Structure formats: structure tokens, C-alpha cells
A and B are shown apart, each in its own frame.
Chain A
């Protein structure tokens, strides 16, 4: 079976050329035959589906999706890519999962990810790294690497991911698919295992922007169980997709075009800009002067929040429990030593350091102030332009193992994506071509709660190009 978009599956269901049970089975078979090569799924939910009458007769009823293993789904193992939660079974659904379940969607399985979403290559997963379907010696990116690889390889039509510093957009770029990080607070974080609470946001990895629009409508919205979720009304995203782009003004920040991008990637970015120009989009040079401080700011704020959030893993109520330790203190310490991998441990230590007495002002408070300046840069830019564009990453998929021992070099992967998390603005990555048979992505960033603009812009691009429809050779081996 060739790769299908959600839209195509909807049409097939509507004209009754296939049933939802058949769709489910086709994807399960595909996962079972491909997962040994890709390792995109940690667990497969192969129970027979029963679409009950309670589930509303929605436009996404019967559509299966892959779920990043960071989201709680009732009765399913939810590991967060960690040994710490190897045996954890969610007693409830995350709100976004519940929202989608009520509309009759079906979970195919829980996807592999960097441990606690900390990583940009999927190599920190306790369950082994995910392989990029375009080249099995390379990373699919991270931390939502399993979700990205699953969609790219046609093991799922669409997947949910989370994005704290680029964890949806970077793997989407590296696997040739579309990845949307909505505005902070657009989707509920309830039941989504916390990494950095002021940055985490649930989003979508899909073949097309149209598919992302279809799903986001049903996922997003205010949730009483997450006081940081927004009361802003959820637009009907699909109704904006066909808006004309004539007169849209796009900002090109000179900091994203400072000559550091290799010319082979720059060529693709320039070609995509020309494509947008043909649609009547106007481009304008802008500046985001503090954007260069995004990575250092993030690597204070995110580890600080991580060290607080991960304090809950103490071996007592759930999760890994050490059999060693004679007193409470040594029991906690040994449990956490055994349960966490190196990347998580280092971030806990770093976060504890920047929050500790004597360093709080110099690091944490300072970073929060610089975060404000970065946010202000975006607000100022959006006075002049509708959206901002630039590359999603500095390079296409790199080889597994290449950056694992050098955290700073790994962190630089997120140089273009991190600033949107710091500011909370929505951003999307979409494929714009290939270098040496590896996909490359363009990022579009919009003001808070302007996801409909992002989806409209990318949909228009995808209507006149077919980069998003290219499939890895590997897929054909399984057809």
C-alpha cells in the first residue's frame, strides 16, 4: 500500500472503498513488518478496534494515528523512552488523547523517543535509537524521532509529538514530513509527561499541512486540568487552507541568513522562497537581534524545569524502584541512578546547578530576562511581517553516533527552532527538497495563536509542489 494522507483515508472511508477496521489492519501489518528495520515503535496496540457509538460521528472517526510514548493513554504502557517508566501503565488518558479518542480515532502504537524528550537524535532512548527511513545509518532527529520515522515510512498516516525546543520540527525536517508546534497553551499538557513546563507543547507530525489542520481542530482547546491551556477559541483550521497568499509579508531574519548555512541547503531555501514569491508573497529583511542567545537561554531554562519536574521519580508510587538502599536517601539516589540514562542525569545536574543558591541570579534569572528580550524581538518583528521564514535545521540528517559525545554540538541542532519555544509562538517545518537524497525543511513562524496562517501558507506551497509526497526507497521494499 502506498503512503496515504489523512485526507485520502477520509475520502476512502466516505466512499466506503475501505472500512476503518481494514485501514487499522493494513497499518498494523506494515508496522509489524517494518518496525524491526526502523524501531519507530516502543509498543504496538494491536487490540481489535471497537468504535463505540459513544464516539461522535466525526470527520476523523476511524483514522489511526501513532502516539509519542510521552502521552498517557489509558491502559497502555507509557515509557517516555526511559527505563524509569518501563513498566508504567497509564491509569488515564492525556487530554489530547481523550479528545481524539472521543472523535473515534485509533491509536496504532506508542512511538520511540529520546528519553524524557531530551535529545535531538533519538539516541538517548532506553529502547534503542530510531533509524531514518531515508538512510538507515542516520538519525531521524529527535526527540519525536519515532513519530517522524513512522509517518515518513508510511507506518502511520499521522502522529502526535511534543516540542520543547524543536522536537517536532527538527525530526520532521530530517525525515521529509510536515511538523507543527502550536502556540504554547494551544493544546492541553495534562497527561503529557512533563520535561520543561513553560516550553512543552503537543503537536502533529504529518505528511501534509492539510492533515495537521484536520487533526489540530480536534486536539486543541482549553482544558480545566491544565491551567496553562488557553481559553482562546479554536478556529476551524481547515477553512483557512485555501486563502490566497497574495500580499502576505514574510520576514527573513538576517540572523537566520548569516552565511553559516551550507550553500547546498541555502539553494533549497532560496528556491522555496521563489516558489512562495510566485504565489504573491512578499519578502522583507528583518532582524531578531537577541535570537543568537536562544540556545544558551534554553540550556538554562529547560534543564532547570527538567530538574524540578523529574524530582517526582523517586521509586515510591510508580516507576522503577531500586532493590538497594538501606535508608530513604540512598534508596532515592540508587533508584534514580538505575532508572535514568546519561543525558537525563546530566540535565538534572545542570538544572540543579543553575537553580542552586549563589547561581540562581547569575544563570536562571539572567536567562529569564534574556528570554523576555527574545520574545520582544518576535513581537517587534510581527509588527512588520505576517510570518517569519528560515531553515529548520543547519543540515540534513546526520549519522548516528556523530554528536552523541558532544552535548554542545548536539544542542546546536536546535539553533533555529528553540526561539519559538522560548517565546511560545507557533511554528511549522515542511520539506522543500533534497540534498544527497536526504530531505531538508523550511520553518515558518507565526504570532501567537496564528496556526491557521501557518497551515494556510504551507498548504498553498504543498498544492503547487510535491516535496511532501516523496517517499523513502525503503517504503517500496515493503509495498
Chain B
């Protein structure tokens, strides 16, 4: 499973990330050695092992469905200068 430059470009698209050409070839080489290291896992016999997604074997605790937070939109929107009338501005999506 050798990774190619076109794979990197596909991954950039999936992860919404622009890379310049230099970064692409650097990452390609670095990822080859990372994937080579990761491929060591292939030698482990994991037949019927249950995958571990989380360190503590616990189920999600539920609470009463009560309102605990107040609307603090104005406070949170202080972290952008592209909010207007309570909305966030983005480039035009629909023509």
C-alpha cells in the first residue's frame, strides 16, 4: 500500500486543507515512513479481539432534560469580526 502524491491531494480535499507543492512532497516522504511504522500492526493476531474505543468501560450517563445554559450568543460572537446581526458571514454559497 504505497501512498502517492495523488493520495495526498485527495486527502487534502477530504480534510479541507490546502498544501503547497513543497509540503506535499515533504509529507509524502514523511507519511511513507509513518505508514511503514504503522504496518507493524499487521503482524499482531487480533482475531476476535473487541476493538477498544475508550479507556473506561462505561456507558453514557443521561441527565434530566432541563435547560442549564443561557443564550450567550453575543459573548461568543466576540471571537469573530465577521458576525452581523447575530449571523456569521461566509463566502456566498448559493447563487
Report which A residues bind B (CB closer than 8 A): 87-89, 91, 184-185, 198-199, 224, 227-228, 230-231, 290, 293, 295-297, 299-300, 307, 311, 314, 316-319, 321, 325-334, 336-337, 340, 342, 345-346, 348-350, 352-354, 356, 359, 362-363, 365-373, 375, 406-408, 411, 422-424, 448
- Interface contact A91-B76, CB-CB below 8 Å: yes
Q: Are B17 and A316 in contact (CB under 8 A)?
A: no
Contact B90 A328 (CB under 8 A): yes
B78 touches A91 (CB 8 A): yes
The distance from the CB of A194 to the nearest CB of chain B, in whole angstroms, is: 14
Residues from chain B with Cβ under 8 Å of A352 in the complex: 11, 14-15
Please, which residues of chain A bring their CB within 8 A of the CB of B44?
A: 290, 293, 366, 369-370, 373
A369 touches B38 (CB 8 A): no
Cβ contacts A to B, 18 pairs, < 8 Å:
A91-B72, A91-B76, A311-B15, A316-B88, A321-B82, A332-B16, A336-B15, A336-B16, A337-B20, A340-B17, A346-B30, A349-B12, A356-B14, A372-B52, A407-B30, A408-B37, A411-B34, A448-B55
Q: Known contacts A198-B54, A316-B88, A424-B55: does B49 contact A372 (CB below 8 Å)?
A: yes
Choose one: B11, B18, B75, B93; the contact of A336 (CB below 8 Å).
B18
Q: Identify which of A307, A367, A369 gathers the most chain B CB atoms within 10 Å of its CB.
A: A369
> Once the chains bind, are A366 and B17 in contact (CB under 8 Å)?
no
Tell me the smallest distance from the CB of A153 to a CB of chain B, in Å: 32
Please determine whether B46 and A366 come into contact, CB atoms closer than 8 angstroms. Answer: yes
The reply to whether B31 and A346 form a contact with Cβ atoms under 8 Å apart is yes
Q: Is B2 an interface residue (CB 8 A)?
A: no
0 or 1 for each of B1-40: is its CB under 8 Å from A? (1 = yes): 1010001100110111111100100110011011101111
CA–CA, A445 and B34, complex, Å: 27
Does B70 make an interface contact (CB < 8 A)?
Answer: no
List of B residues within 8 angstroms of A231 by Cβ: 61
| Nearest A-chain residue to B47, judged by Cβ | A369
The answer, yes or no, to whether B50 is at the interface (CB within 8 Å) is yes
**Smallest CB gap from B93: residue in A:** A328
Nearest CB in chain B to that of A303: its residue: B34
Query: Assuming the A-B contacts A326-B91, A333-B16, A340-B17, are A369 and B34 also in contact, with contact meaning beta carbons closer than 8 angstroms in the complex?
Result: no
Q: Which of B7, B34, B55 has the most CB of A within 10 A?
A: B55
If the complex has contacts A89-B79, A230-B56, are A337 and B19 also in contact, measured as CB distance less than 8 A?
yes
Which residues from B are CB-within-8-Å of A406? 33
Instruction: Say whether B41 faces chain A, with CB atoms less than 8 Å apart.
Output: yes
Is there an interface contact between B61 and A227, defined as CB atoms closer than 8 Å?
A: yes
Contacts of A370 in B (CB 8 A): 41, 44, 46, 49
For the complex formed, measure the closest distance between the CB of B12 and the CB atoms of chain A, giving whole angstroms.
7
Interface residue? B80 (CB, 8 A): yes
A295 cross-chain contacts in B, Cβ below 8 A = 37
Task: Give 13 new A-B contacts, CB below 8 A, not counting A330-B91, A352-B15.
Answer: A185-B56, A198-B53, A318-B76, A321-B80, A331-B91, A348-B17, A349-B31, A350-B31, A353-B31, A369-B49, A373-B44, A411-B34, A422-B55
Across chains A and B, the number of contacting residue pairs, with CB separation under 8 Å, is 170
Instruction: Check if B38 sits within 8 Å of A363, measured CB to CB.
Output: yes
Cα–Cα distance between A345 and B77 once the two chains are bound (Å): 27
Q: CA A321 – CA B82 in complex, angstroms?
A: 9
A185 / chain B contacts, CB cutoff of 8 Å: 55-56
User: Which residues on A sit within 8 Å (CB–CB) of B18?
Assistant: 333-334, 336-337
Query: In whole angstroms, what is the CA distance A329 to B46 when docked?
Result: 40
Contact between B52 and A371 (Cβ–Cβ < 8 Å)?
Answer: yes
Q: A318 to B26: give the CA distance in the assembly, Å.
A: 30
Across the interface, do B54 and A228 meet the contact criterion of CB distance under 8 Å?
A: yes
Smallest beta-carbon distance B85→chain A, Å: 15
- B84 at interface (Cβ–Cβ under 8 A)? no
Q: How far is the CB of B53 from the nearest CB of chain A, in Å?
A: 6
Docked complex Cα distance between A88 and B68 (Å): 25
Contact B41 A366 (CB under 8 A): yes
Return A352 CB to nearest CB of chain B, in Å: 4
In the bound complex, what is the Cα–Cα distance between A349 and B52 (angstroms)?
23
When chains A and B are docked, how far (Å) is the Cα of A448 from the Cα of B17?
Answer: 38
- Structural contact, A368 and B53, CB atoms closer than 8 A: yes
A317 close to B80 (CB less than 8 A): yes
Chain B residue contacts of A342, Cβ below 8 A: 23, 26
Q: How far is the CA of A91 from the CA of B73 in the complex (A)?
A: 11
Of A227, A317, A349, which contacts B15 at CB under 8 A? Answer: A349
Please tell me if the beta carbons of A314 and B14 are within 8 angstroms of each other in the complex.
Answer: no
Among B34, B52, B72, the most chain A Cβ lie within 10 Å of the Cβ of B52
User: Are A224 and B16 in contact (CB-based, < 8 A)?
Assistant: no
Known: A89-B78, A91-B76, A353-B7. A345 touches B27 (CB 8 A): yes
